Amino acid sequence: MALKLEKVVQGITPVSMEWRQKARTYLDKLAIPRGSLGELLNLAEQLAAIRETLEPSVRHKAVVTMAGDHGVVAEGVSAFPPEVTPQMVANFVAGGAAINVLAEVAGARVYVVDMGVAADLTDLVAAGKILSYKVDYGTRNMAKGPAMSREQAVQALEAGIDVAEKLIREGVELLATGDMGIGNTTPSSAILAAFSGLPAEEVTGRGTGISDEVLKNKVRVIQKALEINKPDPKDPVDVLAKVGGFEIGGIAGVILGAAYHKIPVVVDGFISSAGALLAKKLAPASVDYMIAAHQSMEYGHRHMLRELGLQPLLNLNLRLGEGTGGALAMNIVESAAQVIRKMLTFEDAGVTPDAPRGE
């Protein structure tokens, strides 16, 4: 494992139980029937414990949308052609995509990263419109051999760590992951199968909206990729190299970077969750810093969330990616932070508490 990755993976520690307890004790004093703000209270506790303060701020927000292409599209696994990946990157830059709209509502900036788009994006990079950590012009076809080399897998993970560190240094307090990559539900499903041991049919869905026939082929392609590559579930870098994607590695890196620097990170849908699963396998304590944005419509996401041990905040039948669910969930995360920062206790508000108060 390369030095930076090693350092970050080793440096990720569980969130402080002491701060969790302090936050819970404080939240129990708020002038509400105990527990009546439900999941917002758990979220507030998590934020306080991550930041080690009863006044956590998540005001400065960034969505990182990682883009990459996939050689496996040659097997006919997507409803759309790969040229849509760079076209959508251009749309993100123009500000006309769903992620631009939803991030603006959440008060988040969008950072688009070329992790491995199979097109020359140097003009957008030179104009400062996107970040480039291009590992290659798309992965190789995982149905025929490894998607990338082990070195490229490490490079993708470290790129994500770099992006997170750059944004955190600039003052970002809440990150969300996002993805763009035609074909990327296929490697995401393969990653889930490799780690969970679930059969390909159980982890595979319709992605951008494929027919029954194409879905059958996609399941076969995933089975074949697993059979010929034999990814080792005990070696997450091997799983990423053999059946992953550059943007998925980048997402895992962003999550690891956030956890290392004790910054909460909102995980978007199916593809982001595949990145999160890689992060968890590399550094189990990184899960403490993750917030699952939503339950994606992509079949298999439920298994992904179960493997992560996370409950999604929202269920809006989304299946877009880009970080859209992440941006939406940021509004809830901001609300939770403000609940613990700003609400008054029974005592401060002069409200009579329930008589026994549990004791």
Ligand X SMILES: O=C(O)c1ccc[n+]([C@@H]2O[C@H](COP(=O)([O-])O)[C@@H](O)[C@H]2O)c1
Ligand Y SMILES: Cc1cc2nc[nH]c2cc1C
Binding site for ligand X (CB under 6 A): 78-80, 179-186, 207-208, 268-271, 296, 298, 319-322
The entry of ligand Y, ligand X, none that residue 268 binds, CB within 5 to 8 Å by partner kind: ligand X
The entry of ligand X, ligand Y, none that residue 280 binds, CB within 5 to 8 Å by partner kind: none
Tell me how far apart the alpha carbons of residues 142 and 204 are, in angstroms, rounded to a whole number: 16
| Stretch in the footprint of ligand Y (CB under 6 A) among 111-119, 259-267, 319-327, 336-344 | 319-327
The entry of ligand Y, ligand X, none that residue 260 binds, CB within 5 to 8 Å by partner kind: none
At a CB cut-off of 8 Å and minimum separation 6, what does 342 contact? none
322 given a catalytic annotation: yes
User: Applying CB under 6 A, which of residues 158, 173, 322, 334 lies at the interface with ligand Y?
Assistant: 322
Helices 185-196 + 212-229 axis angle, to 10 = 50
Site string for ligand Y, 208-247 (x = CB under 6 A): x---------------------------------------
- Tell me the closest approach of the beta carbon of residue 141 to ligand Y, in angstroms: 20
Distances in Å between the Cα of 355 and the Cα atoms of 33, 34, 151, 280, 359 are 12, 12, 63, 44, 10
In this structure, which amino acid lies at residue 280? K
The entry of ligand Y, ligand X, none that residue 184 binds, CB within 5 to 8 Å by partner kind: ligand X
Tell me how far apart the alpha carbons of residues 37 and 40 are, in angstroms, rounded to a whole number: 6
Residue 80 interacts with ligand Y (CB under 6 A): yes or no:
yes
∠ CA(244), CA(161), CA(205), 5° rounding? 30
Tell me how far apart the alpha carbons of residues 58 and 332 are, in angstroms, rounded to a whole number: 11
Tell me how far apart the alpha carbons of residues 130 and 93 are, in angstroms, rounded to a whole number: 8
- Whichever of 288 and 322 has its CB closer to ligand X, that residue is 322
Residue 153: both structure tokens together: 């897998």
Site string for ligand Y, 174-193 (x = CB under 6 A): ------x-------------
Burial class for 114, CB neighbours closer than 10 Å (0-12, 13-18, 19+): buried
Q: Which of the residues 45, 75, 322, 334 is marked catalytic?
A: 322
Q: Which residues are catalytic?
A: 322
Binding site for ligand Y (CB under 6 A): 80, 84, 88, 180, 208, 320-322
